[in-house]
Amino acid sequence: MLFKDKLCWVTGASSGIGEAIAMELARCGAKLIISSSNKDKLQRVQQNCLKHTSQCEAIPFDLSNPTEVESVAKQTVAKFGPIFLLVNNGGISQRALAHETSVEIDRKIMEIDYFSYVILTKTVLPGMIEANQGFIAATSSISGKFGFPLRSAYAAAKHAIQGFFETLRIELKPYNISITIAYPGRVNTNISLNAILKDGRAHGKMDDGQAGGMSAERCAKIYLKAIAKGKPEVLIGGKELLMVHVKRLFPSIFFKVINKINTT
């Protein structure tokens, strides 16, 4: 009931984890703002959310365009007022070797997966600080805990999320603002289908691990529960999460395993 009648903003809400989070918040009676770059899919999610809550505003914009992100963020806060919960969830993955990937692709992934989170967060923070309350969530990945082949820029962005939001958590403690970083493993979404290849095209294939992963709905429930409890971070997934612990406790074993992954 924490989010009932509270203004909650979810990015990347047109599919996958973001859509599932939006639906779960709608069922809780939250006042919703949902965003993504896909206007048609976003409107579908909006209609489904409105079956459960009285307010769901769909605001599409392009996370890869920092000028647009900042403009939309400022307009949204000015129109709707202080945000109670911001879920930075929009993102894009990668399937390309680092030495074959152009810097332009690296920058695009960083803009979407990291800088958009920073811009949105900095825009909503003044209202949260004034209200002396608020929740901010950032969707990372287990690739934010260790590097993984074919995901150099993606892993870099997810590592950057950890550094920024862990620092922010410490700085915002006096203002009663909670920061939660989520590290999903294999979740059954379209992330691998939409992942960027070295030439900028979509990967267009569902990874086997992704197809057999946890449902987005289950992921959303775990994610929101962690946010509500004020957890600093939450690992979400199945047996693949063991790699996070193996790297921390047995790094030599981790590197032996990771080096066996086929990158061709």
What's the sign of the alpha-carbon dihedral 106, 111, 117, 123? positive
Phi, psi of 168 (to 5 degrees): -60, -40
User: For position 264, what pLDDT does the model report?
Assistant: 64
Per-residue model confidence (pLDDT) at position 215: 96
Q: Is 175 among the domain residues?
A: yes
The count of structural domains within the chain is 1
In a domain, 199, yes or no: yes
- How distant, in Å, are the alpha carbons of 154, 166, 249, 259, 261 from that of 254? 20, 24, 9, 9, 12
Neighbouring-strand partners of residue 135: 85, 178
- Cα–Cα dist 50/196, whole Å: 33
**132: in domain:** yes
What residues make up the domain containing 80?
7-258
Return the amino acid letter for 155: A
Residues labelled as active-site residues: 154
Tens of pLDDT along 238-256? 999 999 999 999 999 999 9
Judge residue 22's burial from the number of C-beta atoms within 10 Å of its C-beta, 0-12 exposed, 13-18 middle, 19 or more buried. buried
pLDDT tens per residue across span 110-149: 999 999 999 999 999 999 999 999 999 999 999 999 999 9
What is the predicted pLDDT for the residue at 84?
Answer: 98
Residue 264 lies in a domain: no
pLDDT at 235: 98
What pLDDT score was predicted for residue 263?
74
What is the pTM (predicted TM-score) of this model? 0.95
In the chain, which stretches have pLDDT less than 50?
none
Q: State phi, psi for 238 to the nearest 5 degrees.
A: -115, -135
Domain-located, residue 2: no
Read off the amino acid at residue 5: D
Question: What CATH number is given to the structural domain containing 118?
Answer: 3.40.50.720
Domain-embedded: residue 1: no
Measuring CA to CA, how many Å separate 211 from each of 44, 63, 187, 208? 23, 26, 8, 5
